[in-house]
Amino acid sequence: MTLDQVIVTPHLGASTEEAQENVAIAVAEQVTDYLTRGTIRNAVNAPSIDGATMAVLRPHLVLAERLGNLQAQITRGPIQEVKIVYIGEVTTVDTKPLTYSILKGILSPVLGDMVNFVNVPVVVKERNIKVTASSRDEAEDFTNLISVELRTTEDANLVAGTLFGKKDPRLVRINDFRLEAAMEGNSLLIYNIDTPGTIGAIGTCLGRHHINISMMDVGQVLERGENIIFLRTDTTVPQHVIEELLSLDNVNVVQAIKF
């Protein structure tokens, strides 16, 4: 979040020169707090968070919003329920801002700037979306983990993410598939049957259209013989290329994702 994205709302008193001066001082103090300590107070588009807490939360806020954003892009249908689980060290901080970040990430692809950190609880209530958030102290494979399950009238998906090096968000689970993928830029999520040559055919197809793969992670469910491939490309993949990928043998689903 940059300074021009933080809109402060000082408390207004009587419309006198003294009151106006107090407002100006309040705004200056809030801007100074944000620039020097990262503290956000009385903002209409961000929760009030002190600087020390923000320093701890900032990487988790990024992770949380990207997990929500990913869910919004891979899950079809009107949203009914969001289940969030915080696991490990992240439970030692106030997780409410993280929940708001997840919900903002889920709703932003549809509502854009109409949803922000302040009004997202109201928007969720207006849309009758059930939200539950719980915490578990014990860590599993990662010292920190955020799990987001999204249910709609048509679909359901579970994604989970963690921080690498305490600041780099990583996707580590999509439903039953485990992987370690960065969530940034232009990406493709591909479900395929685990057979020799399938990944090569996908790469060849993208290369034929001059689309460079900058990152690729593969998750497997061996007992089902299924893969997911999460890959990042330097450019957006056009719809006609997605359709060509879907025509390949053993490729079942191709979803374009933008972070």
pLDDT digits (tens, 9 = 90+) for 91-150: 988 899 999 999 999 999 999 999 988 899 999 999 999 999 999 988 778 899 999 999
Given pLDDT bands bounded at 50, 70 and 90, which one contains residue 258?
very high
Q: For residue 11, name the pLDDT band (cuts at 50, 70, 90).
A: very low
The Cα-based distances of 195 to 177, 227, 237 in angstroms read: 16, 9, 24
Q: Which two structure tokens, joined as six digits, stand for 173?
A: 């689970």
Share of the chain above pLDDT 70, in %: 80
Alpha carbon of 72 to those of 24, 92, 111, 175: distances in Å?
40, 27, 11, 15
